[in-house]
Amino acid sequence: MEWGIGLRRVERESFIKGFLLFFISMSILIFALFFIYYQKELQDLDKELISKMSLCSFTLNCKEFGVDFVPKSRDVLTFHLYKNKKEIYSLYPIKNVDFFLKIYMNIEDYNISLSNIKGDLFIYLIITLIAVFILSIIFSLYSLSPLREALVLTREFVKDILHDVNTPMSTIRLNLSLLKHEVGENKKILRIEKALEKLVLLQDNLKYYLLNHKMDIDTINLKELCFERVEMIERNYPDIKYYIDIPSNIIIQKNRDAFIRILDNIIDNAFKYNKRGGKVFIYYKNGALNIEDTGVGIRDASRVFDRFYKESSGGMGIGLDIVKKLSEELNIKIRVDSSVGIGTTITLKF
C-alpha cells in the first residue's frame, strides 16, 4: 500500500488502540460524572417538591398538588417526601387533630419531570461524547506522528539498503556463473548458490514486509505458476523429489507478485525442512491448493504464523508471518496440519 493511500497495518493498529483507550476511558469518566450529576438533579427535584409541598401545607393554595387527610401514626415522619407506585407525597401535622395533612402529586406528573431531566442530560451526554470522539481522533493522530516519522525513516533506510544490495548480489551471481563455467559443478559452488537463493528470498520478503504496495488483480494459471516456482527452488535441493498434480484449467484471480511470495515461502520451507531423500506433493483438491512434505514437522503449529517465531536456527521467522498477512490481503484461507517426524501440509483455500 502506498504511503499516501492510507495507514499501514502497524499504524492502523496503533491508531485504533490509542483511539479506543482514550475514548473508552474518557467515556467511562463522563458516564460516571453524568450519573453523579443525575443523582444531584434528582435530589434537587425532591428538595424543590418538598419545599413547594411545605408552602402548600400553609396556604393550601397549590394547583399542582392534591390535598388529603390520613390518620396519624407514630412510625410516620412528617416533612418527609414519600414515593410509591401511585404518588409522591408528604405529611404535615395538624394541632389537636388525629390526622395528618397529606400533600401529594401523581406519579405520572413526577415522571414527566424526571423525563425532562433525563432528556436534557441525554442531549448533553451525546454532545459531550461527540466532542470526546473528535478529541480521541485528534489525540490518536497526534500520538501517531512519532511512529509515522519513524516508519518513514525506516522505510527509506530499508529501501536504500535493498537497492544497494542488488549490485553486490548481481556481481556474486555473475562471478558465480563464470566460476561454474571455469571449474564446473561442485559442492562448494552449490552451497554458494543455495546461500544466494536464500538471500534473494529474504530480500523479496523484506520488500513485501516493509515496502508493500497496492495490489492489482492478475489472472494466474495455478499449475504453470506452481511449476515455475518449484523449478526455481528445487535445484537447490537435488535429493528432494517433488510431485505436482494440478488441473491445467485452474485459474485464480489474485495479485501475482503477492501470491508468488506466498508460494515461494511455503514451497521453500517444504524443501528446506524435509528429510534427506524426502518428497514434496503439490496438489489441488476441493478448491484448495495443498503443499505437503515428508519433513521434520512442526512442534507448535498454532504459533507458526507468529512474527519471529521459528523452531530452528535458520531464517528470521518472518516468512510465514508474511504468508499469513498476504493471505489475508488476498482473501485466502490458510491452514496448517503437521506431525513431528511425519511432515506438514499447508492448505490454501481460494
105: left (phi over 0), alpha (psi -120 to 50) or beta: beta
Do 43 and 124 sit in the same domain of this protein? yes
Contact between 56 and 103 under an 8 Å Cβ cutoff? The reply is: yes
- Listed as own residue / partner, the contacts of 335-340 with beta carbons closer than 8 Å and 24 or more positions apart are 336/298, 336/301, 336/304, 336/305, 337/301, 338/297, 338/298, 338/301, 338/304, 339/297, 340/296, 340/297, 340/298, 340/299
Amino acid (1-letter code) at residue 292: E
What are the residues whose beta carbons fall under 8 Å from the beta carbon of 283, sequence distance 6 or more? 243, 244, 245, 246, 289, 290, 292
Do 141 and 221 sit in the same domain of this protein? no
Do 138 and 15 sit in the same domain of this protein? yes
Q: Is position 102 within any domain? A: yes
pLDDT in tens, 147-202: 777 777 777 777 777 777 777 878 887 887 888 777 777 777 777 877 777 677 66
Q: Is position 199 within any domain? A: no
- Residue that terminates a domain, selected from 95, 123, 145: 145
Q: Is position 197 within any domain? A: no
Give the pairing of strands 251-254 and 218-221.
antiparallel
- Residue that terminates a domain, selected from 117, 145, 173: 145
Domain span holding position 39: 9-145
Evaluate if residue 4 carries a pLDDT over 50: no
Mean pLDDT of the chain: 83
Q: Is position 196 within any domain? A: no
Do 117 and 222 sit in the same domain of this protein? no
Over pLDDT 90: what percentage of the chain? 31
Query: What was the pLDDT predicted at 282?
Result: 94
Contact between 248 and 221 under an 8 Å Cβ cutoff? The reply is: yes
Do 139 and 226 sit in the same domain of this protein? no
3-class state of residue 51 by DSSP: helix
Domains of the chain: total: 2
Measured in whole angstroms, the distance separating CA 221 from the mean position of its chain's CA atoms is: 33
Do 132 and 240 sit in the same domain of this protein? no
Task: Return the beta strands (E) in the chain as ranges.
Answer: 66-71, 81-83, 87-93, 99-106, 218-221, 241-245, 251-254, 279-285, 288-293, 333-339, 343-349
Cell numbers linked to 280: 514434496
Distance CA 10, CA 152 (A): 12
3-class state of residue 29 by DSSP: helix
Q: Is position 61 within any domain? A: yes
Do 219 and 307 sit in the same domain of this protein? yes
- Residue that terminates a domain, selected from 145, 167, 192: 145
pLDDT in tens, 267-284: 988 998 888 889 999 999
pTM: 0.50
Higher pLDDT, 286 or 61: 286
Q: Which of 291, 293, 311, 315 is nearest to 301 (CA)?
A: 311
Evaluate if residue 310 carries a pLDDT over 90: no
CATH number for the domain harbouring residue 343: 3.30.565.10
Longest dimension (CA), the chain: 130
Do 120 and 224 sit in the same domain of this protein? no
Query: What was the pLDDT predicted at 211?
Result: 56
Distance CA 61, CA 80 (A): 20
Higher pLDDT, 229 or 211: 229
Do 140 and 242 sit in the same domain of this protein? no
3-class state of residue 278 by DSSP: coil
Q: Which residue has the cell 492502523?
A: 12
